[in-house]
Amino acid sequence: MTTSKAAMVAKAPMAATLTAVPIRATKPSLPDLPIRPCGYQILVRMQKAHAKTRGGILLPDDSRDGMEMKSARGQVVAMGADAYTGNHADGSPRFPNGPYCKAGDWVEWNRYQERRIHIGPEREEYAFVHDDRILGNWGETEPVSW
C-alpha cells in the first residue's frame, strides 16, 4: 500500500507543521562562555582575518595568523559589572558622556593593553580589555579594513 506525500501532509495535524526547532548559534553566546569579565573588564571576541583581500587575492595562513596577532579589534561579548560606572577620587564620574560601547559593538584599542585567552574546542581567541582602554567604536557592523 503506497501513500502519496500530499495525502500524508493532508492527514498530519496542523500544530505539528508549526513546531519551531531551536537553532544553535555557531558562536558561543554569553551563557556558553566558561568565563565572565569581572570589575571594569570587557570581554571581546577577536576579529578573524579574511581568507581573501578585497581585490580577490588569497592570503596564506601565515599571513592571516600574523594579521590576527597584530590585531587590536574585536566584538564586545560581555562586560563586567563595574564597566563604565563609578567616580574618580574627586567625585566626578569616570564616563560623563556614557559608555564607549555595548555588547555587540566592534571596538578598537591599543595593542598590548589586553589579556588574550583561547576558549572552546576551536580555540577561538578572546581578549579582556579595561573599559577605559577602548579607543574607537565601529558600531554593530564588522569593519573590513584588512
The verdict on residue 10 lying in a domain is: no
The verdict on residue 37 lying in a domain is: yes
Joined grid coordinates for residue 80? 563586567
Number of domains in the chain: 1
Mean pLDDT to the nearest integer, 98-123? 90
Question: Comparing 97 with 20, which gets the higher pLDDT?
Answer: 97
The per-residue pLDDT of the chain, averaged, comes to 77
Domain that holds residue 128: 28-139
pLDDT value of residue 19: 39
pLDDT band with cut points at 50, 70 and 90 for residue 97: very high
Rounded to whole angstroms, the Cα distance separating 111 from 104 reads: 21
Torsional sign, CA 88, 90, 93, 94: negative
List Cβ neighbours of 46 (8 Å cut-off, separation of 6 or more). Answer: 68, 71, 73, 74, 116, 124, 125, 126, 127
List Cβ neighbours of 34 (8 Å cut-off, separation of 6 or more). Answer: 119
pLDDT in tens, 34-50: 899 999 999 999 887 76
The verdict on residue 1 lying in a domain is: no
pLDDT in tens, 6-45: 554 455 444 444 333 333 334 545 557 889 999 999 999 9
Residue 77 φ/ψ, nearest 5 degrees? -105, -45
Residue with cell 574585536: 74
User: Is the confidence at residue 68, as pLDDT, over 70?
Assistant: no
Give the domain CATH number at 116: 2.30.33.40
Residue with cell 589586553: 114
